[in-house]
Structures are given as C-alpha cells and as structure tokens.
Structure 1
Amino acid sequence: MGNKKLTVQGVAEYLGVHPDTVYTMVREKEIPHFRVRRRILFSVETIDAWIRDQESITCQEAI
C-alpha cells in the first residue's frame, strides 16, 4: 500500500492543532488536501512537504 492518508482529526493531531483550525485552513486553501465525496483527506507525504515549505518560508521571512 502506498502513501498514508489522514482525516481532519488525524492531521490535527499530527500538527498539534484543533480540528477547527484544520477546517479553517482547508476552507481558506492554506493546507493541501483532497476530497472523496464529502470527506476531506490529507496525504502524509504531502503534509510533510508542506511543513518543510512552511519552515523555509518562516526562515526566509526572518532574514
């Protein structure tokens, strides 16, 4: 089996934030996600890449 998928609850736990925060980020298109019918899902691999991107953006802003 390939890449692991997370639900909103799962990605909230993974990031250490409240699920409502994740729903807001999805609504505002701030976090990569996809839908299967009404379910919002996240690829762990894509979330990890997004985290790395966020870290590099934050580091660049600090310069």
Structure 2
Amino acid sequence: MTDRWLNVDEIADHLGVSKDTVYTWISKRSMPAHKVGRLWKFQKADVDAWVKAGGAGDDAQREPA
C-alpha cells in the first residue's frame, strides 16, 4: 500500500513551516506537488527527498535581486 497524499496543512506541519512558505516553495523552488482541482497534494517521500537534496535550503534557486 502506498502512502496517502498530504494536503498543504499537513505538509507544512510535517516540515515545521507555514502554509505561505509551502506555496512559495511550490512556485519559486519547484517543490514536488500536484494540483488536484484547486488543491495542492504532496507525497511525503517526494517532499522529504526534495528537502534532503537541498530544495528548501537558503541557497536553493533564488530569484535574481
């Protein structure tokens, strides 16, 4: 059985960040997420791998100043 899909509240809680941070990471740092209708859904394993690869780090894909 595969893990269930998490919503924005659940993934924000899992990572210890705000929902606004999650939305920013989706749009600016290519956080692994899938839009289902109007809702964003996440696979915990994909997000954990993204974090471990440095996707959420301070040096990750910043916009030019």
After TM superposition, where is structure 1 displaced by more than 6 Å over at least 4 residues in a row? Answer: none
User: Identity, % of aligned pairs?
Assistant: 33
Flag structure 2 segments of 5+ consecutive residues without an equivalent. Answer: 59-65
The unaligned stretches of length 5 or more in structure 1 are 59-63
TM-score by length of 1: 0.74
Number of aligned positions between the proteins: 57
Structure showing the higher helix proportion among its residues: 1
More strand by share: 1
**TM score, norm. by length of structure 2:** 0.72
RMSD: 2.1
* Structure label with greater radius of gyration: 1
Give the Cα separation in 2 of the matches to 1:44 and 1:34: 12
